Structure 1
Amino acid sequence: MKYCAIASGSNGNCYYIAKGEDAILIDVGINTKHVELRMANLGIDPSRIKAIFITHEHSDHIRGLSVFCKRYQIPVYWTAGTSHGSRLHLPSHLVHIIPANGRTKIGEIYVLGIPKFHDAKEPCSFVVTDGSTNVSIMTDLGRACNNVKHVIQHSDVLLLESNYDEDLLEGGRYSYYLKNRIRNGWGHISNKTSLELFLQHRSSRLKHLILGHLSEQNNTVELVEQTFLPHCESIKFSIATRYQETDMFDVDDILQLQKKGA
Structure 2
Amino acid sequence: MQVHVLASGSTGNALFFDFDTTKILVDAGISARRIQQALCGIGTSLEEVDAILVTHEHRDHVSGLPTLTRRYGLPVYTRPGTWENMFCRELIPSACCYELGDSLEIGNVKIEAFSISHDAADPVGFNFYYRNRKYSVATDLGFVTDSVKKAIACSDVLVLESNHDVDMLKKGSYPWSLKRRIMSSRGHLSNTDAGWALARLPRKSKTEVFLAHLSQENNRPDLAKTTVSTILADQGCCLDSEITLRLTYPDRTASLVEDL
> Normalised by the size of structure 2, how large is the TM-score?
0.92
Displacement of 1:4 in angstroms is 0.9
Q: What 5-or-longer segments of structure 1 have no aligned partner?
A: 254-262
Question: What is the aligned partner in structure 2 of residue 211 from structure 1?
Answer: 211
The Cα offsets for residues 111-131 of structure 1, whole Å up to 9 and x where unpaired, read as 210101110011111111125
Q: Could you tell me which residue of structure 2 aligns to residue 55 of structure 1?
A: 55
CA distance in 2, matches of 1:114, 1:228: 24
Deviation string, structure 1 residues 152-205 (Cα, Å, up to 9, x no partner): 322110111000000000101111100011011111010000000000114124
Listed as ranges, the matches of 1:6-155 within 5 Å are 6-87=6-87, 88-89=89-90, 90-99=92-101, 102-130=102-130, 132-155=132-155
**Displacement over 4 Å in runs of 4+:** none
Q: 1: CA distance between counterparts of 2:190 and 2:202? A: 17
Cα shift at 1:42 = 1.1
Counterpart Cα distance in 2 of 1:252 and 1:149: 27
Identity of aligned residues (%): 32
Is 1:225 equivalent to 2:225 in the alignment? yes
Q: Distance in 1 between matches of 2:105 and 2:100?
A: 12
Q: C-alpha deviations, 1:72-115, integer Å up to 9, x for none? A: 1110001011001103122111111123xx11100100121010
**Is the Cα–Cα contact under 8 Å of residues 30 and 64 in structure 1 kept in the other structure?**
yes
CA distance in 2, matches of 1:31, 1:44: 17
**Residues of 2 paired with 1:63 and 1:22: CA distance?**
23
Q: Is the 8 A contact 2:28 2:62 kept in 1?
A: yes
1:246 pairs with 2:246: no
SS at match of 1:252: coil
CA distance in 2, matches of 1:205, 1:122: 33
| Aligned residue-pair number | 250
User: Which secondary structure does the structure 1 equivalent of 2:50 belong to?
Assistant: strand
| Cα distance, 1:251 vs structure 2 | 2.9
Is contact 2:127–2:152 with CA below 8 Å preserved after alignment? no
Q: Contact 1:154 / 1:203 at 8 angstroms: preserved in 2? A: yes
**Cα distance in 1 for residues equivalent to 2:37 and 2:15:** 14
Q: Where does residue 256 of structure 1 map in the other structure?
A: none
Cα root mean square deviation, aligned: 1.4
In 2, Cα distance between the equivalents of 1:34 and 1:45? 11
* Separation in structure 2 between the aligned mates of residue 141 and residue 131 of structure 1, nearest angstrom: 28
Give me the whole-angstrom Cα distance separating, in 2, the residues matched to 1:131 and 1:141: 28
What are structure 2's unaligned runs of at least 5 residues? 233-238
Matched with 2:167 is 167
- CA–CA distance in structure 2, aligned partners of residues 22 and 229 of structure 1: 33
State the alpha-carbon separation in 2 of the partners of residues 229 and 252 from structure 1.
26
Correspondence 1:236 to 2:238 = no
SS in 2 for 1:208: strand
AA partner of residue 63 (structure 1): S
State the distance in 1 between where 2:213 and 2:109 align: 25
CA–CA separation in structure 2 for the residues paired with 1:131 and 1:82 = 30
Distance 1:233 1:64, change over 3 A: same
Measure the CA separation in 1 of the matches of 2:10 and 2:131: 31
Deviation at 1:8, TM superposition (A): 0.7
Map of 2:236 onto structure 1: none
